[in-house]
Amino acid sequence: MWGRSASFLLDKRLRDQHPSLSSPSSSSPDSTMDPNPNPNHGVSAYYQTRAEHHAIVSSDWLAQAQAAVDREGDTALMEGPHASAAVSLSASKPFSVIDEFNYWRKKPDLAEAVAAIMALAAVIRSCEATTMMELEIELKKASDMLKSWDTTSISLSAGCDLFMRYVTRTSAVEYEDFHAAKLRLIERGEKFGEISMKARRTIAMLGQDFVFDGCTILVHGFSRVVLEVLKLAASNRKLFRIFCTEGRPDKTGLRLSKELAALGVPVKLLIDSAVAYAMDEVDMVFVGADGVVESGGIINMMGTYQTALVAHSMNKPVYVAAESYKFARLYPLDQKDLEPALHPIDFGVPIPSGVEVETSARDYTPPQYLTLLFTDLGVLTPSVVSDELIQLYL
Amino acid sequence: MDPNPKPNHGISAYYQTREEHHAIISGDWLSQAQAAAAAGHPPERPPASAAALSAASKPFSVIDEFNHWRRKPDLAEAVAAIMALVAGIRSSDAATMMELEIELKKASDALKSWDTTSISLSAGCDLFMRYVTRTSALEYEDFHAAKLRLIERGEKFGEISLKARRTIAMLGQDFIFDGCTILVHGFSRVVFEVLQLAASNRKLFRVFCTEGRPDKTGLRLSKELATLGIPVKLLIDSAVAYAMDEVDMVLVGADGVVESGGIINMMGTYQIALVAHSMNKPVYVAAESYKFARLYPLDQKDLEPALRPIEFGVPIPAGVEIEKSARDYTPPQYLTLLFTDLGVLTPSVVSDELIQLYL
| Closest CB from B243, B278, B325 relative to A277 | B325
A277 to B271: CB separation less than 8 angstroms, yes or no: yes
Cβ–Cβ of A313/B239 closer than 8 Å? no
Handedness of CA B22, B182, B232, B204 (dihedral sign): positive
Neighbours of A140 (CB within 10 A): 13
Phi-psi region of A221 (alpha: psi -120 to 50; beta: other; left: phi over 0): left
Q: Which CATH number fits domain B167-358: 3.40.50.10470, 3.40.50.720, 2.30.30.60, 3.40.50.1970?
A: 3.40.50.10470
CA distance B330 to B240: 16
A359 CA: distance to closest CA in chain B (Å): 8
Rounded distance, CA B157 to CA B154, Å? 5
d(CA A352, CA A333): 33
Q: Do domains B13-166 and B167-358 have the same CATH topology?
A: no
Question: What pLDDT, on a 0 to 100 scale, did the predictor assign at position A92?
Answer: 39
What residues have CB less than 8 Å from B136, skipping those under 6 apart?
Answer: none
| DSSP per position, A9-59 | HHHHHHHHH-GGGGS---SSGGGGSPPPS---TTS-HHHHHHHHHHHH--H
Beta bridge partners of A267: A242, B320
* Model confidence at A257: pLDDT above 80: yes
List CB contacts (< 8 A) between A349 and chain B: 216, 219
Q: Where are the alpha helices (DSSP H) in chain A?
A: 6-17, 45-56, 59-70, 75-78, 81-89, 97-105, 112-126, 132-149, 154-167, 178-207, 224-235, 252-263, 275-278, 304-313, 382-393
Q: How many residues can be counted in chain B?
A: 359
Query: How far does the CA of residue B220 sit from the closest CA of chain A (Å)?
Result: 9
Of B267, B275, B313, the CB nearest to A274: B267
pLDDT at B232: 94
Of B236, B314, B319, the CB nearest to A249: B236
User: Using an 8 Å Cβ cutoff, are A123 and A104 in contact?
Assistant: no
Structural element, H or E, at residue A332: none
* pLDDT above 70: percentage of residues in chain A: 75
Mean pLDDT of A219-236: 93
Terminal CA-to-CA distance of chain A, rounded, Å?
46
Please, which contacts does A333-338 make with residues 24 or more away whose CB atoms are closer than 8 Å? Answer: A334/A364, A334/B245, A335/A305, A335/A363, A335/A364, A335/B242, A335/B243, A335/B245, A336/B245, A337/A364, A338/A299, A338/A362, A338/A364
From the CB of residue A330, how many other CB atoms can be counted at a distance below 10 Å? 19
Q: Which of B206, B210, B238, B247 to mutate to test the interface with A (most CBs of A within 10 A)?
A: B238
Query: Cα(A79)–Cα(A117) distance, rounded to whole angstroms?
Result: 13
pLDDT 10s digits, A122-152: 888 888 778 878 888 888 888 898 888 888 8
Q: Hey, are the CB atoms on A355 and B233 less than 8 Å from each other? A: yes
Instruction: Spell out which residues of chain B touch residue A334, defining contact as CB-CB under 8 Å.
Output: 245
Phi, psi of A49 (to 5 degrees): -60, -45
Q: How far is CA B145 from CA A273, B98, B130, B131, in A?
A: 53, 15, 19, 17
B312 and A269 within 8 Å at the Cβ level: the answer is yes
Chain A: residue nearest B245 by CA?
A335
Contacts of B313 in chain A (CB under 8 A): 251, 348
Q: Which residues of A touch B227 (CB under 8 A)?
A: 352
Q: How far apart are CA B262 and CA B119, in angstroms?
A: 13
Q: Which of B320, B321, B329, B330 to mutate to test the interface with A (most CBs of A within 10 A)?
A: B320
Residue B220 and residue B187 in contact, taking contact as beta carbons nearer than 8 Å:
yes
CA atoms of A110 and A77, how far apart (whole Å): 11
Residue B178 annotated as catalytic: no
Q: What is the pLDDT along chain B (359 residues), one digit of tens a residue?
A: 445 554 455 667 777 767 666 655 555 555 565 665 555 444 444 333 333 333 333 467 888 888 888 777 777 778 888 888 888 888 888 788 788 888 888 888 988 888 878 888 888 888 888 777 766 554 666 778 877 887 887 788 777 777 888 999 999 999 999 999 999 999 988 999 999 999 999 999 999 999 988 888 888 899 999 999 999 999 999 999 999 999 999 999 999 999 999 999 999 999 999 999 999 999 999 999 888 888 899 999 998 888 888 888 788 888 899 999 999 999 999 999 999 988 999 999 988 887 777 76
Encode pLDDT of A98-113 as tens digits: 888 888 888 777 788 8
Which member of B215, B255, B328, B341 is catalytic?
A: B255
Residues of chain B neighbouring A250 (CB-CB closer than 8 A): none
Query: In whole angstroms, what is the distance from residue B24 CA to residue B224 CA?
Result: 11
What per-residue confidence (pLDDT) applies to B215? 83
Q: Give the per-residue pLDDT at A338.
A: 87
Nearest to B317 among A257, A270, A351 (CB): A257
For domain B13-166, say whether CATH 1.20.120 is its number: yes
Comparing A66 with B260, the larger pLDDT belongs to B260
**What secondary structure does DSSP assign to B164-190, as a single string?**
HHHHHHHHHGGG--TTEEEEEES--HH
Helix (H) or strand (E) run with residue B3 in it: none
Can you give the length of chain A in residues? 394
Distance from CA of B274 to the nearest CA of A (A): 7
C-beta separation of B126 from B81 below 8 A = no
Asked whether A252 and A343 are in contact (CB, 8 A), the reply is no
Compute the mean pLDDT over every residue in chain A, rounded to the nearest whole number: 78
Do residues B221 and B161 lie in contact, with contact meaning Cβ atoms separated by under 8 Å? no
Quote the pLDDT of residue A387.
Answer: 82
Q: Among partner residues A278, A280, A309, which is closest to B241 by beta-carbon distance? A: A309
**Residues of chain A with C-beta less than 8 angstroms from the C-beta of B319:** 261, 266-267
pLDDT for the residue A95 = 73
Q: How far apart are CA A342 and CA A319, in angstroms?
A: 26
Given an 8 Å threshold on Cβ–Cβ distance, is A271 in contact with B213?
yes
Closest Cα of chain B to A86: distance in Å?
Answer: 45
Q: Which helix (H) or strand (E) holds A240?
A: strand A240-245
- pLDDT recorded at residue B9: 52
Dihedral sign (CA B23, B28, B33, B36): negative
Domain range annotation of chain B? 13-166, 167-358
pLDDT tens by residue, A158-207: 888 888 887 777 655 466 677 887 888 788 878 877 887 788 899 999 99
